[in-house]
Structure 1
Amino acid sequence: METHFLSNRWTVLVACIWIECCAGASYSFSLYSQTIKTRFGYTQQQLDIISVLKDTGECIGIVSGLLYDRFPPWLVLLVGAGQNSLGYVVIWLFVTGRLAIPAVWKMCLFICVAINGQTYYNTASIVTCVNNFPENRGIVVGLMKGCLGLSSAILSTAWRVVFPESDGSSFLLVAAIVPSVVALVLMPIVRKYDPLDFICGSSTTMVRLGMVSAPVVVLALFLMGFSFWDGHSFQADRVEFAVALIILAAPLWVAWKANHQERTSTSTSTPTLSELLITNKGSDQSVITEYTNKGADQSVITEHTNISLWGELCSFNFFLVLFTSAIALGSGYVALNNMGQVATALGFTQHHITIFVTLISVCQFFGRFGFGIFSDYLLSNFGVARPLLTAMAGLILCCGYMLIVMAGTFHWTMYLGSIVIGLAFGANWCLNPATVSELFGLAHFGTLYNVMQVGIPMVSYVLSVWVAGYLYDSESGRGGQCRGSKCFKLTFIILASVCVLAVMSSSILWWRTRHIYRKKFISI
C-alpha cells in the first residue's frame, strides 16, 4: 500500500506542489535589494543590472530542459538544489561581511547561479505534471506556476519566524536552505508515468484536481488576509507559519483518496490504452481509433512527433509566443524588482513593502491558477484559443502599470496596482507554457518551455537599466535617494506602452490558431 501511494501521479503532483511552494525566492528580491544597495553603495542602475542578471538566471533554463529530456526528473532537481544553495550562500557571505565587498559583476554572477537553480525545480515539476496529466494541462500548469508565485509569501513568513527583527540579509540564508532541502527530500518521488494508463476515468480527474488545489487556494487567501494585519508579532508569525504548513499538508490526504479511487475504478472499468495495445498487438491503429472515439483526449494521442525540435523553434507561431513572453514578462519583472524602491520613494515603510510583496505573490498564484482553470473551461466548452486570453492578460498588465503611475497622488492605487500586476503577470506565466504544449506537443516540451523564456531577460535588461535605473538616478543624483512619484512615473508609463506590443503579438497568434483550437476542441 505504501509503495502504491508513493508511486502514483497524485503523490507526484503533491510533491511538485511542495517543491514549487518553496522555489520562488526570485520574487522576493524587494526584501533584500535595499540591503544590497546600501551596504555595497551601489547606484540604482547597478542594482538594476543585478536584478536583470537575476531575471536572466530565472529565465535561461535551456540546460535544465535538455537535461530533463535525457535524464530522470530527480537528477534535474539534484542539480537545481546544488546551484541554489551555492549561489545564495555566497551572496549571504558577501552581504554579512564574511567575504570582501564584491564588484558588481561578482554579485551578478552568483545571483544568476542561485536563481538559475529555480529553473531546474520548475522544469522537473511542471513538465512532469503536464506529462502525467496531459488532458488537464491548463489547470496543472496554472497550479504549478501558481504555487511558484505563492512561494515568496511562504518563504517570507518562514524568514520572519526563523530570523525575527532581522534585515534582508538573513532572508538569503532561508532562500539557500529551504528550497534545496525540500527538493532533495522529495526528488525520489518525482517521476513520469505513462499518461495513457490514466485515460480511463478521466471525467473525474478535473474534480480530483480541484480537490488537490482547494487547500492551496485557501492558503493563498489566508496569506493575503494575514498580510494586512498591522499587529504582526513574533508569536503571530509563528501561528501564521504553522497554519500554512497544516494547509499545505492537506493535499496529501486528497492525493491518497484520489489514488485509491483511481486504482479502484481502473481495476473495475475499461482497460487502459496500454493494456489494449498489449493484448491487440496486430491491430494497434484500430485499437487507438476505437479508444479515442470513446472520449479520450485526442491531444494525448496525436502529439506533434513528426516535427523536429529545430522546426518547432523556427516556426512563426513559436516566435510569437516567445515575443509575447519577452515583452509581457520582461516588463513585469522590471515592475516587481523595483517595487521596493517605488514604495520607499513614495514614503511607505518596510512593513508596507512586505505587504506589497505578499500581495503580488498571492495574486500571482490566483493569476496563474485562475487563468489556468478559466482557459481550460473556455477551451473545452467553447473552443476559445488561449492566445486570446493572453492578449487580455496583457491589457490587464497595462492597467496595473498605470495604477502605479497614479500612486503618487492616490496611495491606495499602490495596493490595487500590486494586485492587478500580480494577477496579469501570473496569467502570462500560465497561459504561454500551456499554449506551447498544445501547439507543439509534449515531445520536446521541456526544451521549448525553457527556450520560450530566453527573450525575457533581454527586455528586462533594457527596461531596467536604460529606463528604470537611468530615470531614477537622473532624478536623485548618482547613488542618492529619490523621493516622490517623479522617480518612477515615466518608467511605468513606458512599461504600459511597451506592453501593448505583447497584446498585439498574442492577438496575431490568436488569429493564426483560432481555427486549430475550434476544430480540435469543438468538433470532437
Structure 2
Amino acid sequence: MPSSVFQWLSLVGIIWLQSITGTNTNFPAYSSQLKQLLSISQFQLNNLAFASDAGKLFGFLSGLASIYLPLWLVLMIGSTLGLVGYGVQYLFITNHISSLSYWHVFFLTVLAGNSICWINTVCYVITIRNFPSDRQVAVGITTSYQGLSAKVYTTIVNVVGHKKRAITFLFLNSVLPLLVSLIATPVVREIEVISPKHSRIGFDVIFVITIVTGIYAVMSSLEFVSNRISPLGSLIGISVSLLIPLLVPLSMIIVGSWHKNTEKQKVYNFTVEDGHNEKTESEVKEDEESEEVHDVGVREEVETKLMLRRLDFWLYFFVYLFGATLGLVFLNNLGQIAESRGYNGTSSLVSLSSSFGFFGRLMPSIIDYFYRENKCGISKPGYMMVLMAPTAGAFFLLLNKTHLALYVSTAIIGVCTGAITSIAVSMTTELFGTKNFSVNHNVVVANIPVGSLLFGYLAAIVYHKGGNENGKCMGMECYRNTFILWGSLSFFATFLAFILHVRTRKFYSHKL
C-alpha cells in the first residue's frame, strides 16, 4: 500500500480521537446533576470544573513523554489516565466505592483532565509531522472534531441513559477514549511521505465531508429540529459522519493502484528514450523544493526557557487567557447560567456550543487552504484580534434576558473560542518552532487552568451572593456583573492581539 494511504488513514484516526477527547466540554451537560449527587455547593462544583482544566498544568509531561517514548505508548498512557480518573468517579457515584472524599474526587478530576493533554499531544505531533506542508489545514480539520465531542457524548447519552445523565457521562468519559485509542493506535503513527501527491484532492474531499458534518451537527442541535429527530436517528447520523472520512484513504488505494499501473506502462514505453530519468529526477526535486517552500513560516526554534522570557509569548498567553479560556469558562458554567435564567434546555445549548465550536475550529483551515491561490490573508495574531471583538460583544449580549440572546451568544462564543484554539496550534509552531512544540504548546495552554480558577471563582462568588438557602441563584443578577467583567477583558485582549500583530507584522509579511 502506498505511503499516502497510511498518511490519510492517520488523519482519519486522529479525527476519531479528537471527536472523543473533549470530555471536559460535556461537563455542563451533567454538572447540575453531579452537584446534587455529591451534595456540594456552587464553589465546590466550580472547583471540579477547575480541576478538569488544572490537569493541563501538567500537560508538559505529555510533551516530554512524546520526545522520549513511542507515540503509541503516549496515547495509551493518556487513555488509561482517563479510564482511572473518570472510572473511579463512576464507581463512586454508583455506590461501588463508598470511601471517597470530595478531595479524592477533585484529584481524580485533575487526573482525567490531564489525560486529554496526552491524547491531544499525540494528535498534534503526528498531524504536524505527517502533513508538514499543510500544517494549518490538517490541524484545523482534526481539531474541529474536538469541538464536536460534547455533541457526540450528549447524543449517546440521550439514547442510552437519558434519566441518569451524570452516571452515563462519567462512564462514557472513562471508557470511550480508551476504546477509540485501541482502534486508532495501528494507524495513528508517523508516516514518511516522499511527495505530497493527491493532497489537494484529499483535502478537497475532507473539507466537503467536514463541512457537511458541521452543518448536520448545527442543524440537529437546534431545538425545533432536534425535537423532530429521534435520539437513535441522531446517533446514527453522527456515527455515519465520523465513518465517511474513511472514503479518502480508500479512494487513495484505488488511485494509487491506477497510478502504479500507469507508471509501469510509461516505463515500458519510454525506457529506450534518452533523458527520461533526468526528467523524473527533476520532477522529484521540484516536489521537494515545493514542500520546503510550504514549510517556510517558522520564525526560529525556541526552547521553552527562552520562550518564557519573550514579550511575544506573554502577549500571546494573555490574548488566549482573555479569549479562548474565557470562552471555555463560560461553557463550563453554561448549565448554571441557563438554569439561573429559567431555561431548561441545557443539553441543546451544550450541543449548540459544541457544533458551532466545530465550525470555529475549522474556519482558519478553510481560510488558510484557499488563500494560497488568492494570495491574500492576515496573520495569526490578526485572526485572533478579529475574533476577540465578537467574543466581547457576545458577553455583553448576555445582559439581555431573552432565550434568543442566550442562543446567539453561546453560538458566537463557541465559534470564536474554537477558532482561537485551532489557530493557536499553528501559531505556536510559527512563533517558536516545531522542534519543541509538544512542550511549548502545553505551556501556552497552561493559561486555561489559571483562567478557570480565577474567572470561575469570581463567577461563583457573584452567583453565591444571589443564592437562596439551597445554594441556587435565580435571575439575571446571578451573572450580570460577571458578563460585564468578561466582556471588558475580551475587549482588552483585542488590544493585546493588535500589539502582537504589529510586533510580528514583518515576519508574517514575508510568510504571506
Q: With the length of structure 1 as denominator, give the TM-score of the two structures.
A: 0.87
Secondary structure of 2:473's counterpart equals: coil
Q: Partner residue of 2:29?
A: 31
TM-superposed deviation, 1:227: 2.5
Structure 1 CA distance for aligned equivalents of residues 201 and 492 of structure 2: 37
Q: Indicate if the aligned counterparts of 1:395 and 1:503 stay in contact, CA closer than 8 A.
A: yes
Q: CA 1:76–1:414 in structure 2 vs 1: closer, same or farther (change >3 Å)?
A: same
* Alignment RMSD: 2.8
- What is the identity, as a one-letter code, of the residue corresponding to 1:324? V
Query: Which one of 487, 502, 510 corresponds to residue 511 of structure 1?
Result: 502
Which aligned pairs between 1:129-168 and structure 2 lie closer than 5 A? 129-168=127-166
Q: Partner residue of 2:277?
A: none
Deviations 1:163-214 (A, max 9, x none): 243332221101111111001221121111235x234x4xx52442131232
Q: Partner residue of 1:333?
A: 328
Deviates more, 1:76-85 or 1:318-327: 318-327
Q: CA 1:38–1:378 in structure 2 vs 1: closer, same or farther (change >3 Å)?
A: same
Q: CA 1:233–1:398 in structure 2 vs 1: closer, same or farther (change >3 Å)?
A: closer
- In structure 1, the gaps of 5 or more residues are 270-286
Q: Does 1:416 align with 2:416?
A: no
Q: Does 1:248 align with 2:242?
A: yes
Q: CA 1:400–1:262 in structure 2 vs 1: closer, same or farther (change >3 Å)?
A: farther
Deviates more, 1:439-448 or 1:485-494: 439-448
- In structure 2, the gaps of 5 or more residues are 265-281
Structure 1 CA distance for aligned equivalents of residues 49 and 350 of structure 2: 16
Q: Does 1:444 align with 2:436?
A: yes
Deviations 1:345-399 (A, max 9, x none): 11111xx111100010001110000122224544772252111011111112112
Q: Partner residue of 2:359?
A: 366
- Percent identity of equivalent pairs: 25
TM-superposed deviation, 1:100: 3.1
Structure 2 CA distance for aligned equivalents of residues 455 and 209 of structure 1: 32
Structure 1 CA distance for aligned equivalents of residues 178 and 112 of structure 2: 11
- What is the identity, as a one-letter code, of the residue corresponding to 1:506? A
Q: Partner residue of 1:178?
A: 176
Q: CA 1:72–1:411 in structure 2 vs 1: closer, same or farther (change >3 Å)?
A: same
Q: Indicate if the aligned counterparts of 1:133 and 1:140 stay in contact, CA closer than 8 A.
A: yes
Q: Indicate if the aligned counterparts of 2:221 and 2:355 stay in contact, CA closer than 8 A.
A: no
Q: CA 1:428–1:16 in structure 2 vs 1: closer, same or farther (change >3 Å)?
A: same
Q: Indicate if the aligned counterparts of 2:298 and 2:429 stay in contact, CA closer than 8 A.
A: no
Which aligned pairs between 1:205-354 and structure 2 lie closer than 5 A? 205-229=199-223, 236-258=230-252, 261=255, 291=286, 295-298=290-293, 300=295, 307-349=302-344, 352-354=345-347
Deviates more, 1:23-32 or 1:60-69: 60-69
Q: Indicate if the aligned counterparts of 2:143 and 2:361 stay in contact, CA closer than 8 A.
A: yes
Q: Partner residue of 1:484?
A: 475
Q: Does 1:189 align with 2:187?
A: yes
Q: CA 1:182–1:148 in structure 2 vs 1: closer, same or farther (change >3 Å)?
A: same
Secondary structure of 2:26's counterpart equals: helix
- What is the identity, as a one-letter code, of the residue corresponding to 2:204? G
Q: Does 1:356 align with 2:354?
A: no
Deviations 1:118-148 (A, max 9, x none): 1111111122112111222222221122100
Q: Indicate if the aligned counterparts of 2:3 and 2:191 stay in contact, CA closer than 8 A.
A: no
TM-superposed deviation, 1:504: 2.1
Secondary structure of 1:173's counterpart equals: helix
Q: CA 1:308–1:168 in structure 2 vs 1: closer, same or farther (change >3 Å)?
A: closer
Q: With the length of structure 2 as denominator, give the TM-score of the two structures.
A: 0.89
Q: CA 1:412–1:337 in structure 2 vs 1: closer, same or farther (change >3 Å)?
A: same
Q: CA 1:71–1:299 in structure 2 vs 1: closer, same or farther (change >3 Å)?
A: farther
Structure 2 CA distance for aligned equivalents of residues 44 and 357 of structure 1: 19
Structure 1 CA distance for aligned equivalents of residues 318 and 208 of structure 2: 33
Q: Does 1:460 align with 2:460?
A: no
Structure 2 CA distance for aligned equivalents of residues 246 and 126 of structure 1: 24
Query: Which one of 113, 122, 127 corresponds to residue 125 of structure 2?
Result: 127
Secondary structure of 1:8's counterpart equals: helix
Q: Partner residue of 2:106?
A: 108
Q: Indicate if the aligned counterparts of 2:324 and 2:418 stay in contact, CA closer than 8 A.
A: no
Aligned residues: 494
Query: Which one of 502, 520, 523 corresponds to residue 493 of structure 2?
Result: 502
- What is the identity, as a one-letter code, of the residue corresponding to 2:139? V
